[in-house]
A and B are shown apart, each in its own frame.
Chain A
Amino acid sequence: MGMSFEPSKEELFELIVESSIDFAIFTTDSEGMTTSWNVGAERLFGYAENEMLGCSADVIFTQEDRAAGAPGKERSAALWKGRGADERWHQRKDGSRFWASGLMMPLRARNAGLVKITRDRTEQHQAGERLRENEERFRLLATSVPQLVFLTRPDGDRTWPSPQWIDFTGLSFDASLGLGWLDAVHPDDREATQSAWHEAHLTGEYYIEHRVRRAADGEYLWHQTRAKPLQGQSGVLSDWVGTMTDINDLRGLQNRQNVLMAELQHRTRNLLSVVQSIANQTIRSSSSLEGFGTQFGSRLRALSRVQSLLARVEDQVIDLHALVTAELAAHSEGDVTSSKIKVGGPAVALPPTAAQALGLALHELATNAVKYGALAQPTGRLEVTWELKAKKPTAEIALEWRESGVSMRAIGSPKRKGYGSELIERALPYQLGAKTRLEFGPDGARCAIVVPVSKESTYG
């Protein structure tokens, strides 16, 4: 009964072909002459059935492909291999192009010709192209920046390490995948590195500073590692992209800065204590407030000269020549090169404490010379010279302060041993382990100071 209602295979086939308006389905003979052309083909290519029947179907190929013999190659692939892939730009009747994706196959009876089924995949093709371009851009960026770039799952499971990472850590691509990359992180930093992911899920950004081993020398360098989820992806297992930036030098500088700040504070507080002590000592030896003011001010200026010399040099050492010259200049109206004064000796670098103690001692000698000695009398001469003596265990600076042409009778010998004598005879030995001798000869004051210095304190 029902047999008469069952459609024939041919009828079914025709129905499918005719209703497939999104698919272009057409047949040709083995030479490419069109033998059938469905509605989908009309829609897709813009040619009506009656325009195409008996004509070459090659018109749907672009000019370049036709010139390259693409239609013939596709037909022979279909005939001899059973199928010819059709993934290329095609051309409509109006000349516009679209990306076709389809197949050409032989009809069962070989001499019956070929069938081609294809459709417009332009959008998908272009999306794929854009994706490839984006991936290419990412790879270009990821492989050309100095940072170590990576792709990761949001639990630290790495899916892609950049070539820079491989170069830096010496871990291969495969060895870096998963949690393998942790091998290059300092063992003490691994736990923090992994637990930072908890924070990352709350803030949406992964951040850690940790040490990463450099393959070249095995040294661990501080890196700042950040990662963010890739845009447009959400969900627990989406990919994150991360960078690792070398901040080792930066951290070194920060540490150095902290050390310097602490050192600066120590020096400042110590300097204030020294000022306090100088004030107290000056009070003890002053008979009037006026006298105190003059002396204290003069001593503070000497201290300040040493400080300004210190501030000018980067490595916090003072050249002895600069120290002597600055002190003498302050007492001879700036004219250190006058015939009265001679200064000379090799270059010697003094550490701050030695510079301060010596500076204050030289100040007292110079003050004395201006009041009673070589710088007070027209015939007076002053020589300040020093030598560097290589001695064991440490080298020594032997400095000599020699005044001459001074009539001691004119002034009489100094009334009492003052602050200068205390600095030279007690402070320098106490503070610098110096040996000193101060005497007032018949033609002026003489002072010998021998200071042991560490090897680093000497130039060259």
Chain B
Amino acid sequence: MAESRPESLRGRRLLVVEDEYLIAADLTASLESLGVEVIGPAASVDEALFLVETNGGRLDGAVLDINLRDERVYPVADVLTARGVPFIFTTGYDAIALPNSYAGAPRCEKPVDKAQLVRWLSDPVSRK
């Protein structure tokens, strides 16, 4: 697994937005075991926006579940885009109709392949 270079995630600050606790907790534990400083997890758009605001200049990336309880995560994606923070969507729909502005955005399908997720998080720019 030299390709995934998990050590390169050490010390990164990553926002996790996922409304399902068990998934959020598992993802958080996995990322923390790789030395990531997890911001969140956040279960709603409001919580996520608050975390982006308070961690403003110090976010290295984000994992965003598209479908939160009664809302979509796009407002968070908008703010991250504006701040130049790379993010990856996770979704349970394989053919979900993304808004045009996110048509080409990176995403991974649930259940998430963590190795794939970690590879992307290690080097989001070249994999975009």
Contact present for B20 and A273 (CB under 8 Å): yes
Q: Would you call A194 an interface residue if the criterion is a C-beta within 8 Å of the partner chain's C-beta atoms? A: no
Contact present for B92 and A284 (CB under 8 Å): no
Name B90-108 residues within 8 Å CB distance of A: 91-94, 96
Contact present for A430 and B23 (CB under 8 Å): no
Contact present for A265 and B92 (CB under 8 Å): yes
Contact present for A267 and B92 (CB under 8 Å): yes
Contact present for B26 and A277 (CB under 8 Å): yes
CB contacts (< 8 Å) of A275 on chain B: these are: 111
Name B70-128 residues within 8 Å CB distance of A: 91-94, 96, 109-112
* Interface SS, B side: mixed
CB contacts (< 8 Å) of B25 on chain A: these are: 277, 281, 422, 426-427
Contact present for B29 and A284 (CB under 8 Å): yes
Q: Would you call B24 an interface residue if the criterion is a C-beta within 8 Å of the partner chain's C-beta atoms? A: yes
Contact present for B92 and A269 (CB under 8 Å): yes
Contact with B along A53-81 (1 / 0, CB 8 A): 00000000000000000000000000000
Q: Which of B23, B24, B92 contacts A266 (CB 8 A)?
A: B92
Expressed in whole angstroms, the Cα–Cα distance for A307 and B96 within the complex equals 24
Q: Which of B29, B69, B112 contacts A273 (CB 8 A)?
A: B112
Contact present for A276 and B26 (CB under 8 Å): yes
Expressed in whole angstroms, the Cα–Cα distance for A455 and B26 within the complex equals 32
Q: Would you call A357 an interface residue if the criterion is a C-beta within 8 Å of the partner chain's C-beta atoms? A: yes
B19 to chain A, nearest CB (A): 7
Expressed in whole angstroms, the Cα–Cα distance for A272 and B24 within the complex equals 14
Q: Would you call B49 an interface residue if the criterion is a C-beta within 8 Å of the partner chain's C-beta atoms? A: no
Contact present for A357 and B21 (CB under 8 Å): yes
Contact present for B109 and A269 (CB under 8 Å): yes
Expressed in whole angstroms, the Cα–Cα distance for A276 and B41 within the complex equals 18
Q: Would you call A353 an interface residue if the criterion is a C-beta within 8 Å of the partner chain's C-beta atoms? A: yes
Closest Cβ neighbor of B24 among chain A residues: A430
Contact present for A277 and B23 (CB under 8 Å): yes
**Residue with the greatest number of chain B CB neighbours at <10 A, chosen from A266, A267, A270:** A270
CB contacts (< 8 Å) of A268 on chain B: these are: 92
Expressed in whole angstroms, the Cα–Cα distance for A233 and B27 within the complex equals 72
CB contacts (< 8 Å) of B29 on chain A: these are: 280-281, 284
Expressed in whole angstroms, the Cα–Cα distance for A242 and B26 within the complex equals 61
Q: Would you call A431 an interface residue if the criterion is a C-beta within 8 Å of the partner chain's C-beta atoms? A: yes
Q: Would you call B30 an interface residue if the criterion is a C-beta within 8 Å of the partner chain's C-beta atoms? A: yes
CB contacts (< 8 Å) of B93 on chain A: these are: 262, 265-266, 269
Expressed in whole angstroms, the Cα–Cα distance for A281 and B24 within the complex equals 11
Expressed in whole angstroms, the Cα–Cα distance for A281 and B33 within the complex equals 13
CB contacts (< 8 Å) of A281 on chain B: these are: 22, 25-26, 29
Q: Would you call B34 an interface residue if the criterion is a C-beta within 8 Å of the partner chain's C-beta atoms? A: no
With A265-B92, A430-B43 already in contact, the answer to whether A270 and B26 are too (CB < 8 A) is no
Closest Cβ neighbor of B47 among chain A residues: A430
CB contacts (< 8 Å) of B30 on chain A: these are: 280
Q: Which of B19, B21, B94, B111 contacts A276 (CB 8 A)?
A: B111
CB contacts (< 8 Å) of A277 on chain B: these are: 20, 22-23, 25-27
Q: Would you call B8 an interface residue if the criterion is a C-beta within 8 Å of the partner chain's C-beta atoms? A: no
Contact present for B22 and A427 (CB under 8 Å): yes
Contact present for A274 and B23 (CB under 8 Å): yes
* Interface SS, A side: helix
CB contacts (< 8 Å) of A427 on chain B: these are: 21-22, 25
Contact present for B94 and A265 (CB under 8 Å): yes
CB contacts (< 8 Å) of A270 on chain B: these are: 20, 23, 92, 110
CB contacts (< 8 Å) of B92 on chain A: these are: 265-270, 273
Q: Would you call A278 an interface residue if the criterion is a C-beta within 8 Å of the partner chain's C-beta atoms? A: yes
Closest Cβ neighbor of A430 among chain B residues: B21
With A280-B30, A353-B69, A426-B25 already in contact, the answer to whether A274 and B20 are too (CB < 8 A) is yes
Contact present for A431 and B111 (CB under 8 Å): no
CB contacts (< 8 Å) of A353 on chain B: these are: 19-20, 69
Contact present for A278 and B22 (CB under 8 Å): yes
Contact present for B21 and A431 (CB under 8 Å): yes
Contact present for B26 and A431 (CB under 8 Å): no
Expressed in whole angstroms, the Cα–Cα distance for A262 and B67 within the complex equals 12
With A265-B92, A266-B67 already in contact, the answer to whether A273 and B23 are too (CB < 8 A) is yes
Expressed in whole angstroms, the Cα–Cα distance for A137 and B69 within the complex equals 59
B111 to chain A, nearest CB (A): 4
Expressed in whole angstroms, the Cα–Cα distance for A431 and B20 within the complex equals 6
Closest Cβ neighbor of B90 among chain A residues: A273
**Residue with the greatest number of chain A CB neighbours at <10 A, chosen from B20, B23, B41:** B20
Closest Cβ neighbor of A303 among chain B residues: B22
Name B47-83 residues within 8 Å CB distance of A: 67, 69
**Residue with the greatest number of chain A CB neighbours at <10 A, chosen from B22, B25, B26, B92:** B22
CB contacts (< 8 Å) of A278 on chain B: these are: 22
Closest Cβ neighbor of A360 among chain B residues: B22
A431 to chain B, nearest CB (A): 4
Expressed in whole angstroms, the Cα–Cα distance for A360 and B27 within the complex equals 19
CB contacts (< 8 Å) of A266 on chain B: these are: 67, 92-93
CB contacts (< 8 Å) of B27 on chain A: these are: 277
CB contacts (< 8 Å) of A357 on chain B: these are: 21
Q: Which of A262, A280, A426 contacts B26 (CB 8 A)?
A: A280
**Residue with the greatest number of chain A CB neighbours at <10 A, chosen from B19, B21, B25:** B21
A453 to chain B, nearest CB (A): 13
**In the complex, the 3 A-B pairs of residues with the closest C-beta atoms, listed nearest first:** A269-B92, A277-B26, A427-B21
Q: List 10 A-B contacts (CB under 8 A).
A: A268-B92, A269-B93, A269-B109, A277-B20, A277-B25, A277-B26, A281-B22, A426-B25, A430-B21, A431-B43
